[in-house]
A and B are shown apart, each in its own frame.
Chain A
Amino acid sequence: MTPDRVSFRLPTPRGLGYSFNRVGRIGLAVILFWAVVAVFGTWLTPYPVGKIVDSDYFSPMSGSFWMGSDYLGRDMLSRIIMGAHYTVGIALTSVTLACTAGVIFGMIAAVIGGWFDTILSRLLDAFNGIPSLLFGLVVVAAVGSSIPVLVLTLATIYAPGAYRFARALAVNVNTMDFVTVARARGERTPYLILHEILPNILGPVLADLGLRFVFIVLVLSGLSFLGLGVQPPNADWGALVRENIEGLSLGAPAVIFPSIAIASLTISVNMFIDNLPTRIRDRSE
């Protein structure tokens, strides 16, 4: 009977799911590849990561060393596989921490508003002004370099950005009528944040998380460049590039492969984020 069925609607095939273009698929494939390597890499290394297996150094690709050897004559393939474990692991943990903290505080600031919002936003803005690498250096100088310290430092560096982003989104959602309705109903802040706001900013937040992941991989490699990072004999990719950078002029695979590894991961994350699968909305309105 409903007379509002007269409004024009296209046939909506339900459950058709998502559309996903080729570039995005390639990105996802590379990300998954590295994820698998990161998780199962420990069992895949052909040689122990710390063992000097080649009497030469910066040796080219060969049957026994698929990616050549590093400056000490260690097997690069093993080291890159191990590096995936650390690079992906550290970056993912940090980015998750940073975004979780940033998003929670961003939503609280947006919902509560007022002085809490102003002071927190301004402080974090100013904190953004401290160059991230220098901040990393100071922290590591203060408390030493270990994986937890590294993760926390990176998370601290990126939390303000995540906060800003989440706050801007949450402020928009907060003005929506459904939040007002919930408020008029008498709902408290935690409910508003978790049930009304969070689900509506989750998409962009996840995309932002991806981009931040890229930056963290790069900052991590920058920190490695300045001599901080994972403990030997393990190394993240940035550290691998760093320790073998002398091989660059020789075209040594020892420096080229970890660079490719970094670039492939970061580029594919970017490609994936830029071409996220879109939910199909077959509606003309």
Chain B
Amino acid sequence: MDDALIPKGVKRCPLPEFLMKLGPVVVVLIWGIVAMFMCWFKGLNQTNMNDSYGFALWIWADLTVIALGGGAFFTGLLRYIIGKDKLKNIINFAVLVGFICYSSALLILAIDIGQPLRGWFIFWHANVHSMLTEVAFCLTCYFGVLTIEYLPLVLENRQVDQVSFFHHLSHNMHEVMPIFAATGAFLSFFHQGSLGGVAGVLFGRPFAFREGILIWPWTFFLFTWSAAAYGPCFTIMLAKITEKITKKKLIKDDVYALLAKISGWMMATYIMAKIIDTWYWAVVTAPSKGQGFMEFYSDNAFYGIWILILEIVVGGVIPAAILITRKGRSTPALLMIAVVLAVIGVSVNRWVMVLQVMAVPVLTFEGWPMYYPSWQEVATTLLPVAYGILLVAFSYRYLPVFPQEAELNPIDLESDETAESVTASETADAKLSPAKA
């Protein structure tokens, strides 16, 4: 039915099957959209946020998807600026994942603010001293960059490509791409960093506050670094999952290995920096405000020292150790474990820097307020996941996302009609959701 749109040299399942398998995803999407409109029309009383938890699940989701989407800028940087040419085989996918992550982040922000109709005041009445302003500007600009990076891929669709203008546009954009990628890296450095700065500058909150250089607290650099380190892991993880679902090898192992190795070393250095930062904070920064290290991990129903261990050891030291060893990253199971742990590690880090910051009491006469999200918050957080799955599925089906696919999966054109269709539609599999959520 839609044969004309499917890239040459690859095979896709019949359209009805594809659409049917996406059904459950669409249901989640609609559920999320309903919740989104409830939040817009009825206000944020639909959430379980409160005056102690002004930031909650959504801001965590924002920080996390942006960290995970960091694979796009870092891979781009490696590919276009550093010249790791091999990564051209994964860059499209990395850009796609990045595009999904960043568009999701912007959508969540648009739901999260109390007055969405005035959201643009953040640009118009910008306070340049606010980390959030920096976030908003860089995020939006970088989303523009991602769109520019994603656009040529769309233009490469068989039908679109037939329009001469688009063909040339795509070609020209590829030519200029290093400049765009450089700009993207510049912007990413600042918004990833400023997201870290969001928590780090809170000098009223000893749990979050960090010293730093000039106006930038250490968390600024730690966030950029961790996004660069962990983002590619997420790209690898999603690519692996896509391979599982499509039951095809889509990217060659040496590409994975290269990215994993770089990611591993980034992670190893990051986690060392993080440990030093934590140590300094625990023995110098926080005590200078009168709060002892263990105060942050006791006297409450949830936050124990386990969360720090989970973040740093389980989600940092272990995956880094796996990825920096040749054996580790070339053993598929270990690689998978490493990237999953890494994704957990960075997600926990973002959780801690948002939700635990809100939870820790500062006034001596206040306790730990506890929070759990309302269904509306959960639904709107799953909304981008569903949307992401759809975008990956459609991109995979109609766009040449994986340059190595045709080579790795040669098809007999004669038997095209009858070939067993293993399709992207299975991306709808629920396995994807928790990984990205």
Genuine A/B complex: no
B residues engaging A (CB < 8 A)?
A: none
A residues engaging B (CB < 8 A)?
A: none
